[in-house]
Amino acid sequence: MKKAFGHSPAGRLLGVRFSAPGRASYATNPEDSRGRYWPEQESPTRTCYQRDRDRLIHSAAFRRLKHKTQVFVEHEGDYYRTRLTHSLEVSQIARTIARDLGLDEDLAEALSLAHDFGHPPFGHAGEAALDACMKDYGGFDHNAQALSLVTRLEHRYAAFDGLNLTWETLEGLVKHNGPLTGGEGDLPAAIAEFPWDLELLSHAGPEAQVAALSDDIAYVNHDIDDGLRAGLFAPGDLFDVPLAGPIFARVTAEHPGLELGRLIGEATRGLLGEMVGDVLAETRARLRGADPQSASDIRALPTPVAAFSEALLPNLLELKAFLFRRMYRHPKVTDVMGRAQQLLIDLFAAYMAKPALMPPDWVRSADRITEAETARAVCDYIAGMTDAYAQAEYKRMFHMEFRL
């Protein structure tokens, strides 16, 4: 492991120390990185977090996000968000927040782009199906799968498996939703057995916290957009829903007869602005109260520094509950996802019965001593599939179309 560098603060601005132009003292500093698991010569033109971001963008896992379900399966229309477009929207929001707070934008972007790497085909329905298939073999967790992808399953470099990302990126990828306080037996094996201490009991660094909030902001706004365009609910259905309702009602009153696309765009930009503004105000207040002098200070705090305010959070939870009822549990969504789950269950059973049905590299991975190791290899293979590839594999193996 690379030894960390020291650095000296470069000055003060508005009472906050900066270790580099535009960077707050509590930001994660690339010069202080704990390095990479496999020692490498760092780039002369990029910081270590820029390099992590670039490696993620060039990975196979990132490209596959283009054809993985967010809410709607790809064949239902090419307008709706995929995991890739969702991740890009998250990264835009995270960079905006990180820049305003003086954090490391590149680390925030890297974590945003990678936060959904571990999702299998067909979204959360696919995750539930694989978790059921793996119930006797350690289960399935998308954050643990993301760690496996970037440390083991990506094969791009001659000297090591994975992408050899920095400690800070790996930590943020695993802990962006908060500390992992379960005992070792309760943690997914990919996390519990990882040979580098990611300090699972502490909060992640500030950039990871920002990425997690940006995920919430992005998906609430774009799911409203996609749900309205899919006809799952109408703008008027939102009027009585906290947070989004007042904004949609105001835009509708100010612009009678406005076409749907303009109404959605005008209202969601207002909602985005309100949510981002709330995060910035609440996070600044928490930073003033805690007065952290480093990213390590932020990790050691008992609560996150990046957060929604107590005034906004209950309204956000009600808005999410509306989306759950009217969108995620709408028959148009659940019927397709139920069939998609059966597709993955059938694939898993077929590969377990005959691992040779997988490509040669995966056959070697599945040729393990124990049944559990074979199951994990099969699970890894299925989790990496896109929606379309899973359907194509089903047709190849069962000689019939699987109608979603």
Tens-digit pLDDT profile for residues 258-307: 999 999 999 999 999 999 999 999 999 999 999 999 999 999 999 999 99
Q: Does 7 score more than 50 pLDDT?
A: no
Do residues 327 and 342 share a domain?
no
Do residues 198 and 321 share a domain?
yes
Is residue 13 domain-resident?
A: no
Do residues 193 and 265 share a domain?
yes
Is residue 107 domain-resident?
A: yes
Do residues 116 and 126 share a domain?
yes
pLDDT band per the 50, 70, 90 thresholds, residue 20: low
Residue where a domain stops, chosen among 333, 355, 387: 333
Do residues 160 and 303 share a domain?
yes
pLDDT band per the 50, 70, 90 thresholds, residue 6: very low
Please state whether beta strands 11-13 and 16-20 pair in parallel, antiparallel, or not at all (unpaired): antiparallel
The pLDDT of residue 368 is 65
pLDDT band per the 50, 70, 90 thresholds, residue 183: low
Residue where a domain stops, chosen among 333, 348, 367: 333
The pLDDT of residue 74 is 52
Is residue 46 domain-resident?
A: no
pLDDT band per the 50, 70, 90 thresholds, residue 361: confident
Among 5, 246, 218, 12, which Cα is nearest to 96's? 218
Q: Which pLDDT tens digit goes with each residue over 86-105?
A: 999 999 999 999 999 999 99
Do residues 345 and 229 share a domain?
no
Is residue 31 domain-resident?
A: no
User: In this structure, how many other beta carbons lie within 10 angstroms of the beta carbon of residue 106?
Assistant: 23
The pLDDT of residue 163 is 98
Sheet with 16-20: strands ordered across: 11-13, 16-20, 23-24
The pLDDT of residue 336 is 85
Is residue 162 domain-resident?
A: yes
Average pLDDT over the chain, rounded to an integer? 90
The pLDDT of residue 8 is 28
Is residue 35 domain-resident?
A: no
**How far apart, in whole angstroms, are the C-alpha atoms of residue 339 and residue 361?**
29
Tokens matching residue 170? 């790996």
> What's the CATH code of the domain at 226?
1.10.3210.10
Do residues 116 and 232 share a domain?
yes
Considering its fold, how many domains does the chain have in total? 2
Tokens matching residue 157? 């470099």
- CA-to-CA dists, residue 309 to 66, 81, 85, 206, 284, angstroms: 33, 28, 27, 16, 11
**How far apart, in whole angstroms, are the C-alpha atoms of residue 1 and residue 202?**
21
Question: What is the share, in percent, of the chain residues with pLDDT greater than 70?
Answer: 90
Do residues 329 and 339 share a domain?
no
The pLDDT of residue 337 is 87
Residue where a domain stops, chosen among 296, 315, 333: 333
Is residue 212 domain-resident?
A: yes
Is residue 36 domain-resident?
A: no
pLDDT band per the 50, 70, 90 thresholds, residue 2: very low
Backbone torsion region of residue 119, taken as left when φ is above 0, otherwise alpha when ψ lies between -120 and 50, otherwise beta:
beta
Parent domain of 308: 51-333
Contact 124, 67 (CB under 8 A): no
Do residues 329 and 235 share a domain?
yes
Do residues 285 and 351 share a domain?
no
Do residues 291 and 346 share a domain?
no
Do residues 325 and 384 share a domain?
no
Residue identified by tokens 């995060």 is: 279
**How far apart, in whole angstroms, are the C-alpha atoms of residue 30 and residue 5?**
9
